[in-house]
């Protein structure tokens, strides 16, 4: 009887260990999209096929390692940023959406009208404002 209980416990231990090993394997294989973007830029620059091309990407991959790599290649980059991001604006850290509201209210002429096409093919009118700023983090 003792042996059978021991076998049952060992089977449970085996199942738990197997689950933990699968978790560890998946965790080690997981790569963040920001890491994948860095690897992609590193590969593109190593191949040298586009020596004059700069980079444009969305806020989902914006990271310091990515921008540092691009700048180290002597190239420029541009990205949209989330409205909640903090930027250094007029000497203080402010949210982008707050700065945009102030600019729209006080300086509407600083927004250029643009027509953009979305992923679904529909076009919409926007007001674009561009500025080089320092991002927090």
Residue 86 pLDDT level (bands cut at 50, 70, 90): very high
Are both 26 and 38 inside the same structural domain? no
Q: What is the pLDDT of residues 65-83, one digit of tens each?
A: 999 999 999 999 998 888 8
41 DSSP 8-state letter: H
Instruction: Region of 90 please: left (phi>0), alpha (psi -120 to 50) or beta.
Output: left
Count up the domains in the chain and report the number.
3
- Residues 22-31: contacts with CB under 8 Å, at least 24 apart: none
pTM above 0.85, yes or no: no
Are both 115 and 135 inside the same structural domain? yes
Are both 18 and 64 inside the same structural domain? no
Residues in the chain: 137
Q: Chain centroid to CA 11: how far?
A: 43
Are both 8 and 41 inside the same structural domain? no
């Amino acid at each position: 009887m003792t042996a059978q209980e021991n076998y049952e416990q060992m089977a449970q231990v085996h199942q738990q260990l197997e689950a933990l090993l699968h978790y560890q394997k998946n965790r080690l294989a997981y790569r963040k999209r920001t890491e994948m973007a860095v690897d992609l830029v590193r590969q593109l620059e190593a191949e040298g096929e586009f020596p004059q091309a700069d980079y444009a990407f969305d806020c989902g991959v914006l990271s310091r390692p990515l921008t540092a790599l691009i700048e180290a290649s002597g190239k420029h980059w541009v990205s949209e940023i989330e409205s909640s991001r903090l930027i250094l604006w007029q000497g203080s850290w402010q949210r982008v959406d707050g700065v945009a509201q102030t600019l729209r209210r006080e300086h509407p002429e600083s927004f250029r009208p643009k027509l953009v096409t979305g992923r679904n093919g529909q076009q919409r009118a926007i007001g674009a404002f561009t500025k080089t700023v320092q991002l927090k983090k």
